[in-house]
Amino acid sequence: MLAEIDVAIIGAGVIGLATAREIAQEKKEVFVFEKNRTFGLETSSRNSEVIHAGIYYPEDSLKAKLCVEGKSLLYKLCDKHNIAYKMSGKIIVAASKNETTQLEKLYEQGRKNGVDDLVLLSRTELKKLEPNIEARAGLLSPSSGILDSHTLLKFLYSQAREKEAEFVFGTEVIGIERAGAKYKVQIKDRDGISAFVAHVVVNCAGLNSDRIAQLAGIDIAKAGYKLHYCKGEYFSLDSKYRNLVSRLIYPTPEQVGHGIHWRQALDGRVLLGPNAHYVEAIDYAVDEMHKQAFYNSAKRFLPFVELEDLAPESAGIRPKLQGPGEAFRDFVIVHEEKAGFPGLINLIGIESPGLTASLAIAQYVGRIMP
């Protein structure tokens, strides 16, 4: 007889951790399986740590709703539990007439999404706020900020454990087979291969989440679940640039990313990034050849930046449902009952603003749990 558990969560990134904390509250027996030696070693620790306001996404999308909801949940959680953050505010800047029109559209979009504190800035107003920035106009988002994401991950992990969620590290899920109303889950660890039975399986496997859905028997091509990897690199700037700009500075958004932005992390480091290019394989090396493009992009708004002050820093990979040249895709967060898989919950394409939305995503999963 195989051991039986209530809920198996696959993946201990911010989404798996927040979900474990949420579901374990309901006194279910929750196990989290993570292939790495500990939690949060993939996309959840390779991002900009920005608390997004919820401006960019179409209204009624999960990205818009869960970002707006998640932002406020996150600020409350950070306040209550002393997790470091800074509501620094953010300015999206425009260099041309076209980009200024884009700012106006973003302002409208943000308001439709419930972001009601946005302010359009003239060049003079922008200069008053950020004298070192060069731009024609700006869109100020006062409620955007940055967060100590590592402390958030540690906090979610310890709260989930307090609520008796069990974490099984160094254990990869390699098979999921429907067994009546339950699932037989096969795992591989350093002792070999074994299996157990779960009533509910929650797929929070990040860059692997399409493959996990496929393992369970979903036709991912038909369902539109195939992920495309989109790499984002960061370059750091010399410490002499600290405190020259006090807010996050973003260009107008690109088709696949929010654009290379300026950020001063909570520890004072000044970073530029991320860029966005589709890749075939997971590789976190930063290509030095991209330095010039980073410099050109930054120089448009930050005229004081010098090429020799940029150094390669880190990279992350976005699990995107949107392929090259394709239109916007929303998060997939679905109980696959209609597809014939009751008890299987898939979370696929949880790219930005996944960190911001994490607590709201976890609540959403709690609501669709069978």
Ligand X SMILES: Cc1cc2nc3c(=O)[nH]c(=O)nc-3n(C[C@H](O)[C@H](O)[C@H](O)COP(=O)(O)OP(=O)(O)OC[C@H]3O[C@@H](n4cnc5c(N)ncnc54)[C@H](O)[C@@H]3O)c2cc1C
Does residue 318 touch ligand X according to CB under 6 A?
yes
Find the binder of ligand X among 5, 8, 11, 260 (CB under 6 A).
Answer: 11
Q: Which stretch binds ligand X (CB under 6 A): 177-185, 287-295, 315-323, 337-345?
A: 315-323
Residue placing its CB nearer to ligand X in the complex, 100 or 356? 356
Q: Which stretch binds ligand X (CB under 6 A): 131-139, 189-197, 206-214, 236-244?
A: 206-214
Cα–Cα distance, 122 to 104 (Å, whole number): 12
SS (H, E, C) 237-277: ECHHHCCCCCCEEEECCCCCCCCCEEEECCCCCEEEECCCE
Does residue 15 touch ligand X according to CB under 6 A?
yes
Find the binder of ligand X among 53, 207, 359, 369 (CB under 6 A).
Answer: 207
Does residue 259 touch ligand X according to CB under 6 A?
no
Find the binder of ligand X among 5, 43, 77, 286 (CB under 6 A).
Answer: 43
Instruction: For the CB of residue 212, give the shortest distance to ligand X in the complex, in Å.
Output: 6
Q: Is 308 helix (H, G, I), strand (E, B) or coil?
A: helix
How many of the other CB atoms lie within 10 Å of CB of 186? 15
Does residue 85 touch ligand X according to CB under 6 A?
no
Cα–Cα distance, 8 to 162 (Å, whole number): 17
- In the chain, the largest separation of any two C-alpha atoms, in whole Å, equals 72
Q: Which residues ranging from 268 to 297 are in contact with ligand X (CB under 6 A)? A: 274
Dihedral, CA of residue 282, residue 284, residue 289 and residue 293, to nearest 10: 90
Does residue 54 touch ligand X according to CB under 6 A?
no
Instruction: For the CB of residue 216, give the shortest distance to ligand X in the complex, in Å.
Output: 11
Find the binder of ligand X among 5, 9, 23, 44 (CB under 6 A).
Answer: 44
Residue placing its CB nearer to ligand X in the complex, 136 or 161? 161
Instruction: For the CB of residue 176, give the shortest distance to ligand X in the complex, in Å.
Output: 10
Q: Which stretch binds ligand X (CB under 6 A): 30-38, 76-84, 243-251, 285-293?
A: 30-38
Find the binder of ligand X among 202, 336, 354, 369 (CB under 6 A).
Answer: 354
Instruction: Kindly give the residue spans of alpha helices, DSSP state H, lying in the chain.
Output: 14-24, 62-81, 97-112, 123-129, 149-162, 209-215, 220-223, 291-299, 354-368
Does residue 13 touch ligand X according to CB under 6 A?
yes
Residue placing its CB nearer to ligand X in the complex, 137 or 359? 359
Hey, which residues does 344 pair with through a beta bridge?
A: 201
Q: Are 168 and 180 in contact (CB under 8 A)?
A: no
Query: Nearest to residue 252, comparing CAs of 11, 109, 44, 56?
Result: 56
Instruction: For the CB of residue 147, give the shortest distance to ligand X in the complex, in Å.
Output: 8
Cα–Cα distance, 362 to 310 (Å, whole number): 37
Instruction: For the CB of residue 139, give the shortest distance to ligand X in the complex, in Å.
Output: 17
Find the binder of ligand X among 21, 52, 65, 320 (CB under 6 A).
Answer: 52
Does residue 205 touch ligand X according to CB under 6 A?
yes
**Beta-sheet pairing, 228-237 with 310-320:** antiparallel
154 Cβ neighbours under 8 A, 6+ residues apart? none
Cα–Cα distance, 26 to 202 (Å, whole number): 15
Find the binder of ligand X among 25, 36, 186, 214 (CB under 6 A).
Answer: 36
Find the binder of ligand X among 259, 352, 359, 365 (CB under 6 A).
Answer: 352
Residue placing its CB nearer to ligand X in the complex, 11 or 138? 11
Instruction: Kindly give the residue spans of alpha helices, DSSP state H, lying in 115-162.
Output: 123-129, 149-162
Interface with ligand X (CB under 6 A): 10-16, 33-36, 41-44, 46-50, 52, 172-173, 204-208, 212, 232, 274, 316-318, 350-356
